[in-house]
Amino acid sequence: ALTAPAHSAAASEFLSRAPHGHLIGGSWQAAGETFDTLDPATGKVLAAVARGDAATVDRAVAAARNALETGAWPAMTPMDRAKLLWAIADKLEAHIDELAELETLDQGKPLYVGRWAEIPGAINQFRFFGGLANQIEGKSIPTSVNYQPPGKEVFAYTVKEPVGVVAAIVPWNSPLVLTAMKLAPALAAGCTVVLKPAEDTSLTAIRLLELMIEAGLPAGTVNLVTGFGRDCGAALAAHPGVDKIAFTGSTATGRAIIDAAKGNFKRLTLELGGKSPVVILPDADLAMAIPGAANAIYFNGGQVCVAGSRLYVHDSVFDQVVAGIAAVAQGMVLGHGLDQGTQMGPLVSQHHAAKVAQYIADGRKAGASVIAGGETAGPNASFITPTVLTDVTPDMAVVREEIFGPVVVAQRYSDLDEVVRAGNDSEYGLAASIWTESLSYAHRLAKRLRAGTVWINTHSMYDASLPIGGMKQSGWGRDSGVGALDNYLETKTVCAVI
């Protein structure tokens, strides 16, 4: 039987304070109605969390509106806002082990994923956008109007203003870093926020807000409402007091968000699903490409929006690559995320693991061969063994739909045009990777693949400075990078006759 190793004192202290309430206008509320958040590896209850509803959302939006109109945050100098974002980053860094542990407990991921990739990634978001807080500039613009009164001139300029109250709605796969991707640029722009984490993973959002307040974030600047998507999330997305929704989640929910935003024409950025191709050319360095392609799909149990879930391998190396990835899959150590040697944890919930298992079963039925994995395991039936499917055809659900688990479908190709067509044959366009020693092929292929990010000889490499987001049904707009600040700004033109 699989048991959770003992929690650290810091994590135990945090969990012992449950039930955790909402944060509204700078004060933690009594929890009221709650729901349990579970350790997905064991199925045991970790803590009770407040279950928000439309009335909670109303109060949180009102607090964010009030903070926008009369609060300290928008009135602060840009340099003071920058200093606070850096202070938040320092605070998170001081609590990095605790945050990584809570993320593992709540989400299941191996500790090293949070400790060395995702929590540092969240910290970098606050540092990066802190650095941009005092670089929000307008322009003075020459005009050619010919009807100004004689003897007068036209003087015109633009200013950038915060878009207003932002609803940040985030998923469960990488909770803290995806939250930071919304909060850091929104705050740098001078917005106020209502944050709603995913119902499966509320814990690091709660701890983040505690730490942000300790760092000195003024009351009401960021409000937190925990709860379910169907009621609490839907109420937030439709709320007329919200000016902008910054959403990361599935394409299906993205569509519901578009509908909910219509009423008052909310601004939207949508970071949605993917089915990203990994293309291995005949000249690839296989010592790098095989572990690279395996990592592209098995990192975080495949619960990564950009996961390399469609593998296209040139005929000449297909058997070798598939055998190599199957060997990596079979050698992976599955276990509780807090166990030192664990390479893959459980999926986020038993419910999600059952969905992934259903995809594998349907793929089998449709004629796919399971070369590795394909099993459900663990005391909570929440583990899926790393899986490789071959003998798939482009029309199968396992090839077309986002499974969001450790399942790769491997297909062969024989020429470049064929792999471009196959790679682009998807409603998604989030990411792709190309594995080759030829710079020329790499860049020519990078140009032809319809994806928001193309990696060459790597996959899933992120940085706060690199725009990330999707073409086609993978979303609207980009998170990260200098341009993401504009997601949270409106341009105002001031035109004067002087």
Nearest approach, Cβ of 378 to ligand NAD (angstroms)? 20
173 binds ligand NAD (CB under 6 A): yes
178 binds ligand NAD (CB under 6 A): yes
CA nearest neighbour of 441 among 323, 313, 283 = 283
Cα of 142 vs its chain's centroid, Å? 41
Helices (H), 108-229: 111-112, 119-130, 175-188, 203-214
Task: Name the residue nearer to ligand NAD (CB basis): 256 or 280.
Answer: 256
Nearest approach, Cβ of 139 to ligand NAD (angstroms)? 30
253 binds ligand NAD (CB under 6 A): yes
Task: Name the residue nearer to ligand NAD (CB basis): 273 or 346.
Answer: 273
Nearest approach, Cβ of 260 to ligand NAD (angstroms)? 6
326 binds ligand NAD (CB under 6 A): no
Nearest approach, Cβ of 193 to ligand NAD (angstroms)? 14
How many CB atoms neighbour CB 379 within 10 A? 14
Is residue 375 annotated as a catalytic residue, yes or no?
no
> In whole angstroms, what is the distance from residue 196 CA to residue 225 CA?
5
Q: Which two tokens stand for residue 449?
A: 């693949």
Task: Name the residue nearer to ligand NAD (CB basis): 209 or 305.
Answer: 305
> In whole angstroms, what is the distance from residue 174 CA to residue 103 CA?
8
**Given 98, 199, 271, 402, the catalytic residue:** 271
Q: Which two tokens stand for residue 162?
A: 């915060």
246 binds ligand NAD (CB under 6 A): no
371 binds ligand NAD (CB under 6 A): no
How many CB atoms neighbour CB 241 within 10 A? 18
- Binding range to ligand NAD, per CB under 6 A, among 125-133, 371-379, 386-394, 467-475: 467-475
- Binding range to ligand NAD, per CB under 6 A, among 82-90, 116-124, 266-274, 278-286: 266-274
Residue 62 one-letter amino acid? A
> In whole angstroms, what is the distance from residue 365 CA to residue 385 CA?
19
> Residues 58, 50, 209, 41: what is their CA dihedral angle, to the nearest 10 degrees?
-140
- Binding range to ligand NAD, per CB under 6 A, among 3-11, 86-94, 116-124, 166-174: 166-174
> In whole angstroms, what is the distance from residue 273 CA to residue 141 CA?
40
Q: Contacts from 367-371 at CB under 8 Å and sequence distance 24+?
A: 367/391, 367/392, 367/393, 367/396, 368/392, 368/396, 368/398, 368/409, 371/322, 371/326, 371/410
328 binds ligand NAD (CB under 6 A): no
What residues numbered 47-106 form the site for ligand NAD, per CB under 6 A? none
What residues numbered 194-233 form the site for ligand NAD, per CB under 6 A? 196, 198-199, 228-230, 233
Task: Name the residue nearer to ligand NAD (CB basis): 134 or 424.
Answer: 424
> Contact residues for ligand NAD (CB under 6 A)?
169-173, 178, 196, 198-199, 228-230, 233-234, 237, 248-250, 253, 256-257, 271-274, 305, 402, 404, 430, 468, 470, 474-475
- Active site residue ranges: 271
